[in-house]
A and B are shown apart, each in its own frame.
Chain A
Amino acid sequence: MTPLLFLGIAAAGGVGAAARLALDGLVRTRLGGAFPYGTTIINVSGSLLLGLVTGLALNHLLAPEWSLVLGIGLLGGYTTFSTASFETVRLAQAHRYLAALANGVGMLVASVVAAALGLWAGLALG
């Protein structure tokens, strides 16, 4: 991997993380902070897009460099596991077990289904 590609992937991750902050803030002002909808929306949409990027790359419709910048960089930095996990534990600590289950397992199922849909779309386009 060239140094320029490495830096491009890293900077794309920074852009993804900043987009996550902006979108989470927007969702928080619209829907309130009682349930962490922002992280769910971010992780499900990011999984759909990474599925699509992966499908397009498997189909040779996307150059390998672009699939790295968009997949590992932008979408890797946009989606987050640590915050999702932290919010789930906080919900459980507040004895909101159903909300914790929705944030833990619900987000996971929705994200895998979204990724599968994206993958299917990316593969079908070929």
Chain B
Amino acid sequence: MHPNWRSLGLVFLGGTLGTALREALGLLLPAGLAAGAPVPLTTVGINLLGALLLGLLLEALMRRGRDAGGRRDLRLLLGTGLLGGFTTYSALATDSALLLRDGAIGMALAYALGTVLLGGLATWLGIVVGAALHRRASARGENG
């Protein structure tokens, strides 16, 4: 198979799963936690969790070796596909624009900037955890 078609297939598969997960959470959660909240809390949770996991995944893969073969496949399936499709930017932008349209300027700013800032922290935390897990795994490898 042509490598481009293989990459597109892996990302399609991961993106389908990621979107299904985001959609399922959106269907299950609004009745409880997110109901009545001034900002879409489900989207916030999805984006922060996805940012953390992508930081962890990419750091762990990078520390295991160069981006080729099985590692590249995993990055495309789980990173670009699953977590890329699970998280979303268009909903963040559109919900912020809707808040602005309703005159809730402070809430729009808090939602948009808060998500980006906390997302950066979550990513950084994921990278730190990914690096620590790798160090522990390689220490175990040397001792055993």
Contacts and interface: CB of A to CB of B under 8 A. Distances in A.
Interface of A: 1, 6, 9-18, 20-22, 43, 46-47, 49-51, 54, 71-73, 75-86, 88-89, 92, 104-105, 107-108, 111-112, 114-116, 118-119
Contacts of A71: 90-91
A116 B20 contact: no
Chain B CB within 10 Å, residue with most, of A17, A77, A78: A17
A78 B116 contact: no
Given A85-B47, A119-B98, 7 more contacts: A11-B16, A17-B12, A17-B16, A17-B84, A77-B88, A80-B83, A82-B86
B137 interface: no
Given A17-B81, A17-B85, A119-B94, A76 B123 contact: no
A79 B123 contact: no
A47 B94 contact: yes
A89 B127 contact: yes
Given A14-B16, A18-B8, A82-B54, A104 B120 contact: yes
Nearest to A83: B84
B89 A84 contact: yes
Interface stretch (B22-30, B33-41, B63-71): B22-30
6 contacts: A6-B20, A46-B90, A51-B93, A81-B51, A112-B93, A115-B90
Contacts of B98: 54, 119
